[in-house]
Structure 1
């Protein structure tokens, strides 16, 4: 009797194995899943929040927060499918294709690579890093295509944010349109540098209008071929997300609370927004009940009316307009509570000098109006 009971239990709970790879004769239909080897990430069709549109995406397999998938990549972000007819497959030329309406002739989305001749060995695999890779055979170590080269709004460990000059690739995060629409949003997060100074993160709004910038980045790789930022933490429990509001968040999964905890974010405070107070002024974050912009010593508002209306974007101008300030008894005054200057606009970068030498270098150059030493 005990043997029969054990047999019944084993039939009720069959053994399961995750499938992380599809080949040319296989399909991923709406309702099917690819799950990475260690059950870290899953790929399949999903609908975001209040939307009924269907997308192919990658999300954490076991890190749902309040029944919401933490989606890290979307294939057809600007081309949703309106029903559950979607099919993901690989054609005879090695292209990963997404079809709707029972394999119609024109794909909704596809990879931009093909093999030169028809092949039967191409396959796609979802890795435990969250990377979807396309390759020719099990022996090949070079991917024909990988989702890490085409990020959406999320940076994962192992991904790059920056540019490869040799290949002509720029790795950029682009926000969703909204929480219900993963289409291309209005904000982008880029690593930017003038190639002579330390690179910085920028969040741009509607193209190249600066919305926020970070402090100079200290975790990056730069050589003749590429320059990119990467996450130091190799854990798959951390990610950087660019929200549809323009907010950049660094998140870490807390297993005890079953939720994503914020490590840092920006812009977070009113002085964080790029150019909040314009030239020759600074933003005072502690002035909660008064206007946050303040002219630097020796300067006055460029537009008094704008200043009264609490608009400091036009900045300040010198009170000594008609008097030359160069080699005319000028000096420097220390200004506290300021952010490192925008290195993409810094006129000069000197290395290996002390603060006194930096002072003299700036005094000897009439175009130099301020310096920072670190």
Structure 2
């Protein structure tokens, strides 16, 4: 037998095994050219070069491998597209992932890790990970899940790693055909009490309070028609939200679209929308300071003032413009020790907590007393029931983004107690708002 042929036949099974097992992994002696792909071992995700539907520009991205409608969930060089098919993705000598434009002889994107990595692997979760060992045998030193674009995949974390300062947030595409950073973002605001906010530039559009418990798993019936289970974690190391799929056979994603909506869609032969916010008129600031928004109140106008308040501008209010908000009806009676009390506003979305104060362990009565003894306290909200102790939130400045609770993503409704003067208290007769 020919010696060369014998050696080739001997090595063929090993070469074939190497190719098959490395289809999801990029090593320093390999590269991904335009037209090549990495495919996760479970065939769920693919990584390679793509162009948006009505664009010729080329980007490195990750998309669902088995969904006929190309759905890109992550983009590497979103700010620096390549014109033509000369792009290459590889690991450089420092162990960083690099997207290189051969036509212009320039690097258009790269990771920035100091630890030397030896392989990049696309996992079945859709996460691209740089490992210090070949085929993922060493520790991960970089991952795409830490640098999301517009999409939150199952088991991704959205929020802050307090240990490293890493902030993970979503940013919309500029348009359906342009994945560069758009004007909308969804991110964690960590002040007195964490909350997730949908921004247009620097302006708030929608707000989702982080839950009052240090860790909370949402009930299935709260989560977009029972498609996902959501979790909020808030501890000394990190604060974030994430979700898992109830039915893994139907992929679901959460994303910020280019028009400024936060959506959850599920693949059932096509992408079906199960959740979208803003979903009504009650966007952030719709009814102004100390206003209350209820899109289902059966009236022509969704805005009213909280108990003890009146429109700042009756004329603007009559024109259905509530942006100036509400002021106290009887300022002269709003003094401490003047027989003031609280009126309950039932089933309310947690108001904006950026200027609130959080008490970690108070009963309902202690929460009420804490607010009552402070002349500046305008309202309180407690998660505690009966004599139990739980988190209490008190507000000392104008109440913003107060609305009736509706079933929304990781957003619960509680009773809000608004401080009112003796006259208003008598008129309410302790009735609910």
The TM-score normalised by the length of structure 2 is: 0.73
Higher helix share: 2
Equivalent pair of 2:45/2:64 in contact (CA under 8 Å): yes
Equivalent pair of 1:249/1:262 in contact (CA under 8 Å): yes
* Superposition map of 1:30-109 within 5 A: 30-64=34-68, 68-102=69-103, 104-109=104-109
Deviates more, 1:305-314 or 1:124-133: 305-314
- Residue 188 of structure 2: aligned partner: 191
Q: Secondary structure at the match of 1:214?
A: strand
- Residue 349 of structure 2: aligned partner: 339
* Superposition map of 1:124-273 within 5 A: 124-138=120-134, 140-194=137-191, 197=193, 199-207=194-202, 209-217=203-211, 218=216, 219-233=231-245, 235=248, 237-254=251-268, 258-271=269-282, 273=283
Deviation at 1:171, TM superposition (A): 0.6
- Residue 12 of structure 1: aligned partner: none
Equivalent pair of 1:173/1:242 in contact (CA under 8 Å): yes
The TM-score normalised by the length of structure 1 is: 0.84
Equivalent pair of 2:133/2:139 in contact (CA under 8 Å): no
Q: Does 1:327 align with 2:337?
A: yes
Equivalent pair of 2:40/2:122 in contact (CA under 8 Å): yes
Aligned length: 344
Q: Secondary structure at the match of 2:371?
A: helix
Equivalent pair of 1:42/1:58 in contact (CA under 8 Å): yes
Q: Unpaired runs of 5+ in structure 1?
A: 1-15
Paired with 1:296 and 1:114, the residues of 2 have a C-alpha distance of 54
Paired with 2:301 and 2:243, the residues of 1 have a C-alpha distance of 37
Deviation at 1:61, TM superposition (A): 0.4
List structure 1 runs of 4+ shifted beyond 4 angstroms. none
Paired with 1:182 and 1:82, the residues of 2 have a C-alpha distance of 15
Query: Pairwise CA RMSD of aligned residues?
Result: 2.4
Paired with 1:51 and 1:287, the residues of 2 have a C-alpha distance of 45
* Superposition map of 1:296-335 within 5 A: 296-335=306-345
Deviation at 1:295, TM superposition (A): 1.6
- Residue 365 of structure 1: aligned partner: 374
Deviation at 1:70, TM superposition (A): 1.1
Equivalent pair of 1:193/1:343 in contact (CA under 8 Å): no
Paired with 1:134 and 1:373, the residues of 2 have a C-alpha distance of 44
